[in-house]
Amino acid sequence: MVDPYFIKLNSALKEYKRSLPFLLVDLDKLDANLKTLSSNLNPDTSFRIVVKSLPSYDLINYIRESSGTNKLMVFHQPFLTDLSSKLDRHADILLGKPMPIRTAKYFFDNIPSNDDFNAYTQIQWLVDSVQRIQEYIDLAKSLGQTLRLNLEIDVGLHRGGFSDQKQLVAGLALIKENQAHVTFSGLMGYDAHVTKLPKMIRSQQKALHLANSFYEACKATIRNDFTELWHDDLTFNGAGSPTINLHKKDSPLNDISAGSCLVKPTTFDIPTLEQYQAASYIAAPILKSFNDTTLPAIEGMKGTLSLLSAANKRSYFIYGGYWKAEYCYPVGLKRNSIFGDSTNQTMVNAPVGAQLEVDDFIFMRPHQSEFVFLQFGNILTVRDNKVEDEWNILKNY
C-alpha cells in the first residue's frame, strides 16, 4: 500500500492552490520516453507528433523542442484552427484523416491571423478517394490557391484509402491533370492492425511484410509512372505508437507518427512499447470517507459486505469520476459496482490498509490520452514529484 512516488504526489497536490480532479503529466517520465523514442527511431525517418494524443499546445511545443521536430499530425479541425494561430513558418501539418470538404472550406474561411504560418503551403490534406481529390481541386479553384494533397493508402487495416494500384493510378492522374490547383505531397498508410491481429490469423511479421510491400508498390508506381509528381521532399508517413519500433532500415516510411507512447495510457501497455513509462495520471481528491460500505436499502449489511471482501472495509466518495481510466493507487482501490457510476461523486472502496482521509488524492491511469485529456480544462505538469505548471488544452470547438 506504500508507494513513495504517489505519496509525494499526494502531498504536493494537497499543498496546491486548489483541489480538483487533475490530469497530470510527469515531465521526468516524458523526458525518459522521448529519449527512448529517439534511440529507437530509424535514423532515415523523421518524427511527427500526433496532436490528438497530446492535445495541448504547451505539451506539443515541449515535445517539439525536445525532439527537434516541426512535424505534426492533426485529426480535428478546431485543433487545426487553434494551432494555425500559434505555429511558425517551420511547422508542417499532415491531416490524419480526410476532412469533409465543408469542414476544410470552413477552416479556410476562418483562418486565424498569423503572419508566421501559411495554411496553404504548410498543411497536407489527406484524401482517400478520387471523389475527394476532385472536391479539394474544386475548393482550391474557389480559393484561388494551390493545396497540398497526401493520399491515404490501405496497407491492410481496411479503414479506407486507395486499396489497389488501379485506384491509386486514377487518383494520381487526376492530381497530375490539375497541378495548377493541387500538389501531390506523399502517402499515408496506417498499420495499427499489425500488432492487433491474433497470431493464429496472421503473424506480426507477416502482417508487417504485407503492409510494407504494398506501400513500396505504391511508391514504385509514383516513381515509375508519375515522374512529374515524384520529388525528394515527398512525405511517406505511417506507423503510430504500437508499430514505431517495427519500422527499421527496410521500412518504406520516411515519416513516422507517434504520440500516445510518450504519455503511455493503459491501452498502450503492449509488448512493442515495454521500454516506455506511464507518464500521465488522473488525480482526484477524496470528499468523504467512511468505515465499511453502506449502500441504500441494505444499510444493515455493511458488516457482511466487509466480511465478504476486504475492499469493503473503507469507502470513499471522490470528486468526479467515470473517466476512461483504471485505479492505480492505492493498490486495491476499485469502483463500487453496486452504487454505480457517477461523473459527480464516485464511490470507491479500498482495503483498510489504504489509510486515506478526506482531502487525500487517489490516482488513476487513463485508458487513452486523446479523449480523456479533453475532459480536463488543463494539464498539471509535475517534475520531481512537485507541481511545476498548468498547460492549457487545445480548443475543441
Q: How far apart are CA 217 and CA 233, in angstroms?
A: 19
pLDDT tens-digit map of 216-247: 999 999 999 999 999 999 999 999 999 999 99
Residue ranges of the chain that CATH labels 3.20.20.10 = 27-262
Query: Residue 294 — very low, low, confident or very high, per pLDDT cuts 50/70/90?
Result: low
Q: Which pLDDT tens digit goes with each residue over 129-188?
A: 999 999 999 999 999 999 999 999 999 999 999 999 999 999 999 999 999 999 999 999
C-alpha separations of 296 from 87, 302, 322, 339 in Å = 54, 10, 20, 8
Please, which pLDDT band fits residue 2 given cuts at 50, 70 and 90?
confident
Q: Does domain 27-262 have CATH number 3.40.50.150?
A: no
Give the confidence band of 297 by pLDDT, cuts at 50, 70, 90.
very low
List, by residue range, all CATH 2.40.37 domains of the chain: 4-23+278-392
What is the reported pTM? 0.94
Question: Residue 311's pLDDT is what?
Answer: 58
Q: What value does the mean pLDDT of the chain take? A: 93
Per the model's pLDDT, the better-predicted residue between 58 and 355 turns out to be 58
- pLDDT score, position 323: 96
Distances (CA, A) of 271 to 138, 248, 268, 333: 45, 17, 9, 26
- Nearest C-alpha neighbor of 233 from the set 112, 71, 101, 370: 71
Interacting residues of 88 by C-beta distance below 8 A, sequence separation 6+: 116, 117
Please state the length of the chain: 397
Taken in order 286, 292, 294, 295, the sign of the CA dihedral is positive
CA-closest candidate to residue 377, choices 74, 77, 23, 83: 23
CATH architecture of 4-23+278-392: Beta Barrel (2.40)
What's the pLDDT score for residue 352? 75
Over residues 20-29, the pLDDT tens digits come to 999 999 999 9
- Specify the higher pLDDT residue, 312 or 318: 318
